[in-house]
């Protein structure tokens, strides 16, 4: 579902690393999220956050899903993450690698290292995640 991008001013923001900024209670209970302030700075145009895996991978975490958005990029900061994408297959991100996920592509996270940290950027800042089960 494509939504028009917000129109409005943007402003400068800086985000310095603070462990206190990692919050749980986001989309996935096995992750902590550090918001980088991009959504506020861009008037909702985009969101950027660091995702830190805080629990060891377990198969019951794997849920086939997709995101209703216009753009999504994931960059691996540390460790590794494996995801199975429809019509693509299994892909592994390692530190320093990234992928761009087309809007709506169905996928399942199938594993990660205990030290996995990811940078995720998507447009627009508010998106819908739909479980395909």
pLDDT at 45: 94
pLDDT at 104: 94
Residues 6+ apart with CB under 8 A from 133: 63, 64
Region class of 68: left (phi > 0), else alpha (psi between -120 and 50), else beta: beta
70-107 in b/e form (b: 16+ CB < 10 A) is bebebbbeebbbbbbeeeeeeeebeeeeebebebeeeb
Report the alpha-carbon distance of residue 96 to residue 18 in Å, rounded. Answer: 21
Pick the CATH number of 24-131 from 3.20.20.140, 2.60.120.10, 3.40.50.150, 1.10.8.60: 2.60.120.10
**What ranges do the domains of the chain cover?**
24-131
| CB contact at 8 A, 36 and 48 | yes
Helix (H) or strand (E) holding 74: strand 71-78
Residues 6+ apart with CB under 8 A from 25: none
Tens-digit pLDDT string for the chain (133 aa): 455 655 568 888 899 999 999 999 877 888 999 999 999 999 999 999 999 999 999 988 888 999 999 999 999 999 999 999 999 999 999 999 999 999 999 999 999 999 999 999 999 999 999 998 7
pLDDT at 46: 96
The residue whose two tokens read 């594993």 is 111
User: Does this model's pTM top 0.75?
Assistant: yes
């Amino acid at each position: 579902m494509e939504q028009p991008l917000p129109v409005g001013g943007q402003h400068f923001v800086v985000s310095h690393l603070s462990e206190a900024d990692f919050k749980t209670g986001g989309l996935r209970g096995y992750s902590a999220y550090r918001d980088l302030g991009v959504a506020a700075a861009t008037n909702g145009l985009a969101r950027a956050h660091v995702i830190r895996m805080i629990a060891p991978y377990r198969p019951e975490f794997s849920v086939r899903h997709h995101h209703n958005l216009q753009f999504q990029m994931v960059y691996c900061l540390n460790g590794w993450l494996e995801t199975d994408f429809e019509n693509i297959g299994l892909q592994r991100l390692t530190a320093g690698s990234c992928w761009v996920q087309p809007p709506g592509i169905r996928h399942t996270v199938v594993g990660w290292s205990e030290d996995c940290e990811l940078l995720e950027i998507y447009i627009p800042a508010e998106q819908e995640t739909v479980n395909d089960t």
